[in-house]
Amino acid sequence: MVTNEDVQRFITAIKMASTYDFSDYSERSFKRRVEKLLIDNHMDINQLSLKISKDKFFLEKVVRDITVNTTELFRDSDMWITLKHQILPKLKKNKSIFIWHAGCSSGQEIYSMLILLHELGMFEQAKVFATDINSEMLESSKAGVYKYRFNLGYLDNFDKVIKENPLNFEETKDVPYEKYFDIDKVKDTIKMKEFLREKVVFRKHDLVNDGNIFYSKFDLVLCRNVIIYFNNKLQNHVIELFNNSLYRDGYLVLGAHESILGPVSNNFDRTKGFYKKKQF
């Protein structure tokens, strides 16, 4: 059984050995992942702390395992349908559209967005940036290869978002999957096409420590199901960063069950999970 002191010692060990700071993560779920980490590595907290201080590769692996990397193609189809019919059309007239996927994990959301942009004829004008705290996750984002069977269910979401029109159920658009990714049932993979993969600028970025590392502001920042792992204080810090990184009238997109609390919420108009930065 892991105690609160154990969790504190773990956080301190990581802080001493790197720039990562997990002090302001949501406590309950973080503690549970520390427990799981100890079980998976067959170590107690002392052994783990020692190895973290001596072995950089191990430290990166620990950071990968302690952060949560669940993501799906077109996760929450309702959000994508709103994006498709209400948000992106407003940006279409812009010469360039700057998009930041913050905390992109293994990248399924980036490819969902690229596919949608392409279908709306907005692919060329989009400038797409993606960041994650973990370099291994960035590598798998870049590779754009996913388990076919695991993602099978999410192809329904592709159909819902890309092929169907929610305003007219009789209208469907025939978009073959092969336009955007290759399915190999024997190898059990879905591989994103190269023209999608090479579109994205990937950078390592830590929402706790780093500011806006791109020389640009953004029309859209997507950060979905990331700040649920942070406590209120860190959530506010990160929302402040997004607020400063958005153009006026730009949109911050959070997860379906995330919201902005505290004074910074006054800077945004909310419709569903979309936060529009106000004009001041």
Partner 1 sequence: MDYKAVIIGGSAGSFQVITKIIASLPENYSLPVILCLHRLKHVRSGFVEALSIKSKMPILEPNDKDPIKAGKIYLAPANYHMYVELGNRFTLSTEDVVNHSRPSIDLSFSSASYNYKRKLVGIILSGANKDGALGLKAVNDSGGLTIVQDPSDCQVPTMTQAAISATEVDHVYNTRKIIEFLLNLDS
**Residues in the site for partner 1, rule: CB under 8 A?**
26-29, 32-33, 68, 70, 78, 153, 225, 227-229, 232, 235, 255-259, 261
Would you say 166 or 255 has its CB closer to partner 1?
A: 255
Name the strands in the sheet holding 274-277, side by side, starting at the edge strand that comes first in the sequence.
200-204, 126-132, 97-102, 218-222, 246-253, 274-277, 268-271
272: left (phi over 0), alpha (psi -120 to 50) or beta: left
Pairing of strands 97-102, 218-222: parallel
From residue 237, how far is each of 47, 208, 219 by CA, in Å? 33, 8, 20
Would you say 87 or 255 has its CB closer to partner 1?
A: 255
Would you say 163 or 179 has its CB closer to partner 1?
A: 163
Distance in angstroms (rounded) separating the CA atoms of residues 245 and 222: 12
Distance in angstroms (rounded) separating the CA atoms of residues 261 and 74: 26
Q: How far is the CB of 61 from partner 1 (least distance, A)?
A: 17
Q: How far is the CB of 48 from partner 1 (least distance, A)?
A: 19
Would you say 148 or 230 has its CB closer to partner 1?
A: 230
Would you say 218 or 229 has its CB closer to partner 1?
A: 229
Instruction: Name which of 150, 188, 17 is nearest 73 in CA terms.
Output: 150
Q: How far is the CB of 6 from partner 1 (least distance, A)?
A: 15
Would you say 28 or 42 has its CB closer to partner 1?
A: 28
Q: How far is the CB of 120 from partner 1 (least distance, A)?
A: 25
Q: How far is the CB of 227 from partner 1 (least distance, A)?
A: 7
25: left (phi over 0), alpha (psi -120 to 50) or beta: beta
Name 106's Cβ contacts closer than 8 Å, sequence gap at least 6: 69, 71, 137, 140, 141, 146
Q: How far is the CB of 68 from partner 1 (least distance, A)?
A: 5
Q: How far is the CB of 5 from partner 1 (least distance, A)?
A: 15
Residue with the two structure tokens 């995330």:
258
DSSP string covering 101-130: EES-TTSHHHHHHHHHHHHTT-TTTEEEEE
Would you say 167 or 186 has its CB closer to partner 1?
A: 167
